[in-house]
């Protein structure tokens, strides 16, 4: 059972549970998927193999290479891409996603409208505001779904920061809320970390929820207070020697995503 299998089983077991459905789509977006191609990639251009059904046109993705090979009956051209990148490439083109068809319990047809919705959800940027914390306290009671979602989402943020603290906060002027404070983010990691937290909130199924995000250096005085009262999340560290070289295959360099033909 892969993480996608597990999330799909939970969604199938509770068809009326919106949170379970959202968790499945989150796993789909966050995971690496293997997109079946019509032919080998040409530079940065890829041509997915299309399947026509009475429900529309679909491209096929699999969450493991061996599952793609099982479906194709042997070696077949593919591109390894994140689910969110695939959704971004397909959005607005009237193409759906066939996931693990015929080779796994998580097989599902996701129509084009759902692909567009997922891309729109992933594209939403959090608002940026200026506020100065006056007091930090231990976090109040938060939904378990949010804490679980944060833990899972931050587990994918490898190397972007050392750790984060979740606290209750009071700002200048008296406004109160919850704050996730990242410590020692790498340069440029602030926007993706903020989006990751926003997605964790969205996919937890909590309506009208809010969670502020801030970034500090370990030498900032507030970090001592955060360490005393905050709920700590450790982010994975980068491996000493990356197993893959960016750009060695289509989709491996996030700065140069492939283009559909």
Per-residue pLDDT tens for 38-74? 999 887 889 999 999 999 999 999 999 999 999 999 9
- Taking all residues of the chain, what is their mean pLDDT, rounded to a whole number? 88
Alpha-carbon gap, residue 126 to 236, rounded angstroms: 23
Spell out the alpha helix ranges (H) of 212-256: 222-229
Give the tokens for residue 59: 């491209």
Number of other residues whose CB lies within 10 A of the CB of residue 200: 23
**pLDDT tens digits for range 134-185:** 899 999 888 888 888 899 889 889 999 999 999 999 998 899 999 999 999 9
The average pLDDT across 20-29 equals: 92
Alpha-carbon gap, residue 168 to 176, rounded angstroms: 7
What's 3-123's CATH class?
alpha beta
Residues 6+ apart with CB under 8 A from 77: 36, 37, 38, 39, 40, 41
Kindly report the CA angle at 22 between 181 and 13, in degrees rounded to 5?
130
Q: β-pairing, 78-82 with 95-99? A: unpaired
Domain ranges of the chain: 3-123, 133-234
Q: Helices (H) and strands (E) in the chain — how many of each?
A: 8, 13
What's 133-234's CATH class?
alpha beta
Residues 6+ apart with CB under 8 A from 237: 158, 159
Alpha-carbon gap, residue 57 to 248, rounded angstroms: 30
């Amino acid at each position: 059972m892969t993480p996608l299998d597990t999330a799909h089983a939970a969604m199938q077991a509770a068809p009326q549970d919106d949170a379970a459905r959202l968790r499945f789509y989150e796993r789909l977006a966050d995971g690496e998927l293997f997109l079946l191609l019509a032919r080998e990639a040409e530079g940065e251009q890829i041509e997915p193999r299309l399947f026509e059904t009475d429900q529309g046109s679909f491209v096929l993705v699999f969450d493991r290479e061996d599952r793609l090979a099982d479906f194709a009956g042997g070696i077949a051209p593919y591109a390894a891409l994140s689910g969110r990148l695939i959704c971004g490439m397909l959005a607005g083109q009237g193409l759906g996603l066939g996931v693990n068809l015929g080779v796994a319990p998580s097989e599902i047809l996701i129509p084009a409208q759902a692909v567009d919705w997922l891309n729109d959800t992933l594209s939403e940027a959090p608002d940026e505001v200026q506020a100065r914390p006056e007091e930090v306290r231990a976090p109040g009671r938060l939904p378990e779904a949010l804490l679980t979602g944060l833990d899972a989402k931050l587990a994918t943020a490898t190397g972007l920061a050392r750790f984060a603290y979740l606290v209750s906060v009071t700002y200048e002027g008296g406004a109160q809320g919850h704050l996730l404070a990242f410590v020692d983010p790498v340069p440029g990691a602030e926007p993706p970390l903020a989006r990751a937290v926003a997605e964790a909130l969205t996919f937890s199924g909590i309506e009208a929820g809010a969670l502020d995000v801030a970034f500090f250096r370990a030498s900032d005085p507030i970090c001592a207070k955060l360490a005393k009262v905050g709920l700590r999340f450790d982010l994975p560290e980068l491996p000493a020697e990356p197993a893959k070289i960016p750009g060695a295959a289509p989709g491996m360099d996030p700065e140069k995503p492939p283009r559909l033909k």
